[in-house]
Amino acid sequence: MQKITTIGAFCILMLFTINALAQKTISSNEIIEKARRGEPITYDNVIIEGTVDFTFYFEKKNEEEFSRKRSKWNDSNNSIEEMISSEIVFVDCIFKDGVIAYYHDDYTEFTFTASFSKVVVFKNCKFEEESAFKYSDFREKTDFSGSSFDEEALFKYAKFYDYADFHQAAFDDDANFKYAKFKNGLDFSNASFDKDLNLKYAKIDGDFKSDNMDIRDDLDVKYTEINGESFSKYLLKSR
């Protein structure tokens, strides 16, 4: 019986090892092309190499007609926005390089952003480099639950029109939600913040879940509003 148990345990260990070794690696270009065509983007347990650029800035910059097209852009606000129509679902994925929906070109002074018209899911994913969603609009449900951010998570000025789920997320660097707007609830329950959590000027409407939040550095909630009340007043009432 002991021998059978040992063999069984060995087989299980081998299966886990094979699955880990079999984790597929894909290029970010594959994702970018799907986004450009508006096709569903669905990946489970893959490694992504290369920057996932939802603004398409780096492609635009390399176009021969970049200068001519730039002259047609709106100079009044120097902002170029892409609307991504793809449904996006990543589960148990590792992003080796950046995931960006925001890029500022210091040379031209133009800012490139991307917003999302459908569901956006990054569940149990690992962001090893930058994650920049500054000024992004998330029109439908957004799920970053269980994901880890090795560098700053930049959601400054982002707007979440539906439920935003960050429960059990782990932020190893700053989490910047300054001026962010959450119009239909926010879940930070069991999320951990190793450095600063910036919610200054953020506005949260709907259900706000903050049970077991672990903030190990500064929490900035100056002028933060939850359902029209100050952050501190809301917490006192919810006790």
Amino acid identity of residue 180, one-letter, is A
pTM assigned to the model: 0.85
- Residue pLDDT, tens place only, 130-159: 999 999 999 999 999 999 999 999 999 999
- Residue pLDDT, tens place only, 6-61: 555 544 444 444 444 467 999 999 999 999 999 999 999 999 999 999 999 877 77
Q: Write the DSSP assignment of 43-63 as a string of letters.
A: EESEEEES-EETT-HHHHHHS
Give Cα separations from 56 to 44, 170, 195 (angstroms). Answer: 23, 28, 30
- Residue pLDDT, tens place only, 183-196: 999 999 999 999 99
Q: Residue 138 in contact with residue 165, Cβ under 8 Å? A: no
